[in-house]
A and B are shown apart, each in its own frame.
Chain A
Amino acid sequence: MKLLTKTTLNFLSITLFVFLFGIVAFYFLLRGQVDKNVNFELEKRKTSIISQLNSNDPANSIPPNPNERIIIDVLINNDPLPEFTYTDTLIFDDLQKRYIPFRKLGFVANFNNQRIYIQIFKSLEESDFLIVQIFLILTALVIVLIVSLLVMNRITLQHSWKIFNRTIKKISNYDVNTHKQFMLQKSDIKEFNDLNRVIETMTNRINSDYLNLKEYTENASHEIQNPLAIINSKMELLLQSGDLKESDYKAVVDAYEASNRLSRLNKTLILLAKIENRQFPESKDVILSEIINNQLDLLEDLIISKNIIIENSINIGFSVYMNPYLAEILFVNLIKNALRHNVENGNIQIKQVENTISISNTGPKHNMNSDELFQRFHKSSNSSESLGLGLPIVKKICEVYNFDVDYEYDEMHYFSIKFDA
């Protein structure tokens, strides 16, 4: 749920709650006040009627009032005394042909030694009308107030959140490899500015860490290559000198081969780190059939030595937007893998279905699953010379470009890469 929706809902539920209870309470308060007023008037009327009765002066007769009626009953002695009460009642109005609410005061008075029961009725029509009017006006006012508050809230918040949303968008598009200055828009909300400031400090730190790391990898590679170059050159010179014993020769060659392997390992790890750091940004449309054919040419010796039949049915002209060098590395590693784990007189099929290219090869079954296969330094026992970094490189490249890479075994080893359209 969006924060704006949540606050709006909270606001609405609370105001509606308060409003409903308030309005009920308000009604009763108002009603009570009006009743009190009417009672007071009825009381005044009673006093004037009693004084009239006592003076018995016809000139002092009760002035007619359209809102008022008076009923006088003579009480017989044995009638029970009615109580002195205020009550609400409905009386049918002949003129308007409808019931009208009245408030009644009944009391007993003495007149000419007779006891009479007098009931004064006062119409409540006007005051009821007033109450309804006040009610309607008040409700309208409150509703207008709530709606305008909501609208205003929405507008201000949306404006403020726009900046926040821009920040989010910028962060999700953030790529440490673009080397662009990371700037966020200023907001008039303190919290957002705080957030922006923290994010900017963070990205600056990430940037400098990244640059340091990059520099470190590069320097490390250079620094390691130097001593390796010295070792190699000295060993080569040693091998040239004719006066080595047979056993010394063997030792020197072993050391020489080991240092060569070390340098290959170093180069491959640097490559892997560079792919991970996305340091191959230049992309273009790479025609995969050309790349694959080139790699097959380069690997000709390997193909001939195992007498492997290649079936290649890639669509000519199928292109993928990526770095051409990485495309080469991707396919040379896949094809080399298919060759290395193949059998004599085996075959390799390179096929394409829509955006998916699959490379499948014959070869002995193994128990490794897809995850294990793509792990670094995970080697099958029969090829101790390989570094165990070919498939991890394939996986890394696919990760960089969001290609799906998959492995299955179904009589053949089956690697497939789904290229995004």
Chain B
Amino acid sequence: MKRKHRRLMVVLTSLGLLGAAAALVLTAVEDSLVFFYTPSDLTKNTTPPETLFRLGGLVEEGSVRKDGATTYFNVTDLQKTISASYTGVLPDLFRPGQGVVAEGKLNPDGSFTATEVLAKHDETYMPKEVADALRKSGQWRDGSIIQ
């Protein structure tokens, strides 16, 4: 009986310590764990120009403009907005109001030149008819349900 309890205590304490260690490590390396930075993050920890990083946010409505193979669009997190450009083929789900993650560099003038664009979709799934009905009744704008 005694040894059983001791083993239980050893396992529980080791798991607790391990969890704490993992939590500390993960908080310490948090910066390298985020997949992308939001426009607001950029103004906080001034990323120098000419470093490759990923910028994520929503494609601002009405900001998408095509010029030949180059697409100009604004990435916004609804607080800050950065204008971006990308030359190449965009993913199918790239559309105004939708999430986007673009890899590229910041230009000296504060705009962003992307070398790769990924579409980020949100966690809502619904049939087309439901989306149309929501749009019609005004409860929906492309991107999010109005709470």
Tell whether A and B belong to one assembly: no
